[in-house]
Amino acid sequence: MLRSYSCLAKLLEGWGASRWGSRAAASQGVLPHPTDVSFPGATVRPLPSSEPRDYALPNPSWSADMMDQFHKFTAMSEGGTWRRIPSHRRVEDSAPEYMKHKMEDRYKERDTRYFCRIIDSEGLGFEYVMFFNPSQKRMVGIFQLGPYLEGPPGFVHGGSIATILDATLSLCALFATSAILTANLSINYKSPIRLGSVVLVDSKVDRVEGRKAFLSGPVKSVDGRTLHAEATALILQLDFSKQVKEQQLSLS
């Protein structure tokens, strides 16, 4: 990881003096350092009381780059080739329909949240939406990475980059192959990501061997010119019926 971030020192050299310089940088999707701004678009909203809220829809914190990518893939979805994946606080609310009843029966009555949706305030953590292409077995995640995801000053934490890769690759595996459990995630970090940037995670299923699904995907800037990271993953299918039977036997 240190080798992958060898260019970070140069990027940070002028940080203290420039404090991200001008407003022009912010207009390109790069936020100033979080101690210098108030993030007026960040608001706290209560959890819904009935129907789960779909967080994969625009809110005031989304930048111009985020909105541009959202509209681009929404337009591509009109022909049925792509489709937007709703995103909720709990994993089972966002699962494919054929799996929801299996997950709800087992995991109902839980006071939990999906890790990528733990922050109530808009724009401070992971803002994202994913689009799935069934015929290509491909999932594209559009992520805006907020100031609560900081690692090196002004840049996104490497663990947050791992999170968006795992989230996108595993959801791609779930919708394309029913695989759900990440067994291995291997990441090569190429270039740091500035806080507030919008990036694309483009994942695809490379092959399936029995219960094993092998996937890969890069993290790139919205213009495609910068490769921030690339990853491969091994994701396994789970036999829910077998697990339920084993749980029932352990309780009897």
Distinct helix (H) and strand (E) counts, the chain: 7, 7
| Active-site residue, selected from the candidate residues 65, 111, 120, 166 | 166
Nearest residue to 190 (alpha-carbon basis) of 3, 1, 4, 6: 4
Distance CA 49, CA 47 (A): 6
| The Cα angle at residue 241 between residues 238 and 244, in degrees rounded to 5 | 100
DSSP 18: H
Is position 166 annotated as part of the catalytic site? Answer: yes
Q: Letter for the amino acid at 21? A: G
**DSSP-assigned letters across all residues of 148-207:** GGBSSTTBB-HHHHHHHHHHHHHHHHHHHH-EEEEEEEEEEE-S--BTT-EEEEEEEEEE
Nearest residue to 233 (alpha-carbon basis) of 206, 214, 205, 212: 214
CB proximity list for 242: less than 8 A, separation 6 or greater: none
- To 10 degrees, the CA torsion angle through 222, 223, 228, 234? 60
Distance CA 198, CA 142 (A): 7
Q: Which residues are catalytic?
A: 166
